[in-house]
Amino acid sequence: MTQTMRWFGPNDPVQLRAIRQAGATEVVTALHEVPNGAVWERDAIAARKAMVRAAGLDWRVVESLPVDEGIKTRSPEWDRLIAQYCQSLTNLAACGIDVVTYNFMPLLDWTRTDLGWELPDGARALRFELVALAAYDLFILQRPGAAESYDAATCAAAEQRYATMDEAARRELERTIIAGLPGSEEGFTSPAFLRAIETYADIDAATLRDHHVAFLAAVCPTADALGIRLVVHPDDPPFPIFGLPRVVSTEADIANLFARVPNRSNGLCLCTGSLGVRADNDLPGMVDRLGDRIGFLHLRSVQREPDGAFHEAEHLGGDAAMAAIVAAVHRLSVREHRSIPMRPDHGHQMLDDLARITNPGYSLLGRMRGLAELRGLERGLAYAAG
Ligand code: CS2
Ligand code: MN
C-alpha cells in the first residue's frame, strides 16, 4: 500500500512536515477554497502540488472533487456542471493526479452526533447515536414526517433524550450534525437544512441511483481518456438519514454501479469505517470481489453498539477484521502488481492533541498511531506470505 495522510491545505493545523515525520509518503488533498461546482484551475493545482513536493511528499490522490447538488438532483444546471467537472478532471490529469475521490450523498457528507466521546483511556473518539440523531430530527429540526423515519422505541428514547438536554446541549447537537465536518463542503443552519431537504422531495433511492449513473456515464469517458480513476466514497453512515436516500451503502449497491457503468475509470474508495457500520458488509470479501475497481483505501474500524449507535475504534480493534482486510489487500496488490494508496481515515484525539485545536477526526497523533499499526500489519503479513 502507498501510505498517505489527508491534508486540508495551508490552513490545516497539521503541517506537511508532521505528515512526513509520521511516515506517509504522500498526502491526499483538495482545493478546499474553490466553491462547489467551480472549475479547479490548472495553475492552482500545480501550485498546490509544488507546495507538497517542496515538503518531500507527493500528491496524486484528490479527496474530494465534490459533486455539486445540482448534479445529484439533475437540476437545469446539469450540463454546465458536468462540463465543469470534466474540465477539472482534465486540469488535474495535466498535473499528474491519477485518483479522484467523490461521494454521492445528498446534502450531508459524513455525519456524527458526538465529536469528543471519551474512551476509557481518556482519548476521544467520534460517535454516532441514532437516538441523538432522532432527537435532533424530531424536536430541533422538526422535519415534517420525521417520525416515519424511526421505530417507536427510537422515537420514545429520542423524546426522553431531548427532555434531558439543556439549551446549550441542544445547540451543540445541532452544530455537530449539520454545521459541516472537515472535508464536507457545506454546513447548514436548521432552517436552511430543512429547505435543502425539500429539494429532494421527489428523489427516492431509485431516482438517486439513476442520477448517479447519469453522472458517471457523462464523466467516465473523459476520465478513461485521461487515465484518471474516479473513486466513489461510500455513505457514512451507510443508511438513509433525514429521509434522504443513500445509495452507496452495500456491496450490492456498489456492484450494481459497476454493472451499469462498466467504464474502467468507474472505481471505489473502499472505506472500511463507513461500510463497516453494517454487520452485513463483508469487508475482506469486498476487497476480494471488487478488487480491480478499488483505487483508494480508507482504513479504520468502528465498534457497533446497541440501538443503532457506533463509535470509531482503534484501527486494529473494533468490528472491522483489519488483519483479514489488509491480508486481502496484500493479495490484491500482488495479483495486480500495484501499490494501492491508503490512508488511516480518522484517528482518536489523544496525548498532546487533547489540548490542541484540531479538525475532528483529523488530529495528528491518533492518525499517526493508526498509520504505524497498519504499516506494521502489512509488513508482517507480507513477510509471512513470503
Ligand atoms: C471522509 C469523507 O472524513 C471522512 O469520513 O472519508 O469526508 C470523504 O472524504 C468524502 O465522503 C469523500 O467524498
Ligand atoms: Mn472514509
Ligand showing the shortest atom-to-Cα distance for residue 270: 2
- Cβ–ligand 1 contact at 236 (below 6 Å): yes
How much is the pLDDT for 379? 97
Cα–ligand 1 centroid distance for 375 (angstroms): 21
Active-site residue (options: 211, 233, 311, 315): 233
For residues 63-85, give the mean pLDDT: 98
Residue 267: what pLDDT? Answer: 98
* Rounded Cα–Cα distance for residues 106 and 69 (Å): 7
- Of these residues, 136, 162, 200, 362, which one is catalytic? 362
Q: What are phi and psi of 31, to 5 degrees?
A: -85, 80
Query: For residue 92, what pLDDT band results from cuts at 50, 70 and 90?
Result: very high
Would the CB of 91 count as within 6 Å of ligand 1? no
What is the rounded CA–CA span in Å between residue 15 and residue 12? 7
pLDDT of 185 reads 79
**Mean pLDDT in residue range 368-381:** 98
Query: For the chain, what is the total number of helices (H) and then of strands (E)?
Result: 14, 12
Mean pLDDT of 72-94: 98
**161-210 confidence digits (pLDDT tens):** 999 999 999 999 999 999 988 888 788 999 999 999 999 999 999 999 99
Res. 353: pLDDT tops 90: yes
Atom of ligand 1 nearest to the CA of 66: 13
**pLDDT value at position 251?**
98
Q: Which residues pair with 2 in a beta bridge?
A: 341
The predicted structure's pLDDT at residue 182: 85
pLDDT in tens, 255-286: 999 999 999 999 999 999 999 999 999 999 99
Residue 75 pLDDT > 90: yes
In ligand 1, the atom with minimum distance to the C-alpha of 182 is: 3
Mean pLDDT (whole number) for 137-150: 98
Instruction: Exactly one of 150, 345, 348, 353 is catalytic; name it.
Output: 345
For ligand 1, say whether the CB of 369 is within 6 Å of any of its atoms. Answer: no
Ligand nearest to the CA of 271: 2
Please confirm, yes or no, whether 85 is among the known catalytic residues.
Answer: no
Predicted local distance difference test score (pLDDT) of residue 121 = 97
Is-contact 368 334, C-beta < 8 A?
Answer: no
Q: Is 315 a catalytic residue?
A: no
β-strand 99-103 against 58-63: which pairing, if any? parallel
Specify whether 269 is catalytic: no
Q: Are 318 and 303 in contact (CB under 8 A)?
A: yes
pLDDT score of 206? 98
For residue 362 the three cell numbers come to 483529523
Mapped onto helix, strand or coil, the DSSP state of residue 63 is strand
Question: Which ipTM value was assigned to this complex?
Answer: 0.97
pTM of the model: 0.98
User: pLDDT value at position 81?
Assistant: 98
- Cα distance between residue 309 and residue 307, in whole Å: 6
Residue 212 a catalytic site member:
no
- What pLDDT, on a 0 to 100 scale, did the predictor assign at position 120? 97
Closest CA to 341 of 349, 351, 333: 333
Would residue 121 show up in a list of annotated catalytic residues for this protein?
no
Which residue's CA is the nearest one to ligand 1's atom 7?
183
pLDDT in tens, 221-264: 999 999 999 999 999 999 999 999 999 999 999 999 999 999 99
164 CA from centroid of ligand 2 (Å): 32
Q: What's the confidence (pLDDT) of residue 186?
A: 81
- State CA 111 to chain mean position distance: 10
8-35, pLDDT tens digit by residue? 999 999 999 999 999 999 999 999 999 9
183 ligand 1 Cβ < 6 A? yes
Summarize pLDDT for 47-65 with one digit per residue, the tens.
Answer: 999 999 999 999 999 999 9
Nearest ligand to the C-alpha atom of residue 347: 1
Residue 366 pLDDT greater than 90, yes or no: yes
Instruction: Sort strands 124-128 and 310-312 into parallel, antiparallel or unpaired.
Output: antiparallel
Dmax of the chain from CA atoms?
A: 59
Catalytic residue among 235, 271, 330, 353: 271
